[in-house]
Amino acid sequence: MSSVLAVNNLRHRYGAVEALAGVSLSIQEGEFVALLGPNGAGKTTLVRSIVGLIKPTSGTVTVAGGDPAKAIVRRRLGVVQQDVGFPRTLTVAEVVEGAAARAGGDPATAQRALDEMGLDEVRKRRASDLSGGQQQRLQLAMGLVGDPALLVLDEPTVGLDVSARRAFWLTLAERRRGGTGILLTTHIVEEAAAVADRVVVLDGGRVVAEGTPDELRRLLPGRRISARTRVPVEAIRAVDDVVSASAEADRMVITAIHAEPVVRVLLDLDRDLRDLEVATPSLDEVLSELTTDRERVAA
Ligand SMILES: Nc1ncnc2c1ncn2[C@@H]1O[C@H](COP(=O)(O)OP(=O)(O)O)[C@@H](O)[C@H]1O
Ligand SMILES: [Mg+2]
């Protein structure tokens, strides 16, 4: 397998702000990596460095063996960025065919992208007449043309409804099977984790965790137990396996290494207990545990 992306010790400053503080990351052919992290983590800056839009302060980026500042290398890249427009007077087909020509790929890749994004039926419509969701799908189609070695997508699912998102994940899975490497950022953490081979968590311009979705979930051990109960919270805190317990009105939320001993005590002490639930921590919980909420800090 060869590497389609190699990022080595990348740093970037915007004046006083250090947006990237030494990031290294690599993606192999056919590998799908989800880049996650809170607002301000540096995701967009990393994406912009990878696609050659900004020149990082130091460090290197290699895409498909070359420097993404060079046009010839950028042709191997499919890019979907946040808030980028397209020529609104052109038809949908013209926009996508134009993107295919710029990518130097087979014009037939335009038709494939139109089909994948469900845009074939509106191909003759002006881009400006599309709905918001269709415009987003047009952005995605522009990134998919030209058989890229690496696809880089910054928040590609914003504005897509559930069914469009599902279709989009399937398209990416198929592209990855064809050998395309994929790097994407998203807020829809669980959906991305379901399809990603690897998750990289960025915070404060640094990689703070990296692994398969399951490896990351295991970083937060234990179970979340919740129930409506009158059992005093102190009685539960005294149970060996309990890590933390809190109660609000009659609803108790417990974190424990194992669920069974806690559930046994709860049921012994309270015959009227209701709404008992046992869950494994979600990846969202793991992420908020791993990262500081900079947005809240800034507010
Ligand atoms: N053009 C810019 N000028 C100054 N600061 C910026 C600029 N773009 C981003 N930043 C700052 O760099 C940090 C990282 O931002 P960004 O890469 O957009 O993060 P993310 O995409 O993870 O939300 C933030 O503190 C942000 O405010
Ligand atoms: Mg961003």
Per-residue pLDDT of the chain (299 residues; tens, 9 = 90+): 689 999 999 999 999 999 999 999 999 999 999 999 999 999 999 999 999 999 999 999 999 999 999 988 988 999 998 777 788 899 999 999 999 988 887 888 999 999 999 999 999 999 999 998 899 899 999 999 988 999 999 999 988 999 999 999 999 999 999 999 999 999 888 888 888 999 999 999 999 999 998 888 888 778 999 999 999 999 999 998 898 899 999 999 999 989 999 999 999 999 999 999 999 888 888 888 788 654 444 43
Q: What is the pLDDT of residue 1?
A: 62
Q: How far is the CA of 13 from the centre of ligand 1 (A)?
A: 9
Q: What is the pLDDT of residue 298?
A: 41
Q: What is the pLDDT of residue 218?
A: 80
Main-chain dihedrals φ then ψ at residue 96, nearest 5 degrees: -75, -40
Q: Quick check: 149 and 180 in contact, CB under 8 A?
A: yes
Burial of 168 (0-12, 13-18, 19+ CB in 10 A): buried
Q: How far is the CA of 14 from the centre of ligand 1 (A)?
A: 8
Question: Rounded to whole angstroms, how far apart are CA atoms 212 and 165?
Answer: 22
Measured from the CB, is residue 43 less than 6 Å from ligand 1? yes
Measured from the CB, is residue 38 less than 6 Å from ligand 1? no
Question: Rounded to whole angstroms, how far apart are CA atoms 243 and 230?
Answer: 20
Measured from the CB, is residue 17 less than 6 Å from ligand 1? yes
User: Which residue, judged by its Cα, is nearest atom 17 of ligand 1?
Assistant: 42
Q: What is the CATH number of domain 223-280?
A: 3.30.70
Residues 6+ apart with CB under 8 A from 266: 225, 227, 229, 231, 236, 273, 276
Q: How far is the CA of 75 from the centre of ligand 2 (A)?
A: 23
User: Which residue, judged by its Cα, is nearest atom 16 of ligand 1?
Assistant: 42
Q: Quick check: 268 and 238 in contact, CB under 8 A?
A: no
Q: What is the CATH number of domain 3-217?
A: 3.40.50.300
| Rama region for 42: left / alpha / beta (φ>0; ψ in -120 to 50; rest) | left
Measured from the CB, is residue 19 less than 6 Å from ligand 1? yes
User: Which residue, judged by its Cα, is nearest atom 27 of ligand 1?
Assistant: 40
Main-chain dihedrals φ then ψ at residue 242, nearest 5 degrees: -80, 130
Q: Quick check: 217 and 280 in contact, CB under 8 A?
A: yes
Strand duo 32-36 + 198-203: pairing: parallel
Q: CATH 3.40.50.300 occupies which residues in the chain? A: 3-217
Q: What is the pLDDT of residue 110?
A: 94
Q: CATH 3.30.70 occupies which residues in the chain? A: 223-280
Q: Which two tokens stand for residue 186?
A: 């998203």
Question: Rounded to whole angstroms, how far apart are CA atoms 39 and 133?
Answer: 23
Q: How far is the CA of 56 from the centre of ligand 1 (A)?
A: 13
Q: How far is the CA of 17 from the centre of ligand 1 (A)?
A: 8
Q: Quick check: 43 and 33 in contact, CB under 8 A?
A: no
What average pLDDT does the structure give for the chain?
91
Of 137, 24, 153, 172, whose CA–CA distance to 78 is shortest? Answer: 153
Q: Quick check: 134 and 122 in contact, CB under 8 A?
A: yes
Q: What is the pLDDT of residue 293?
A: 53
Q: What is the pLDDT of residue 153?
A: 95
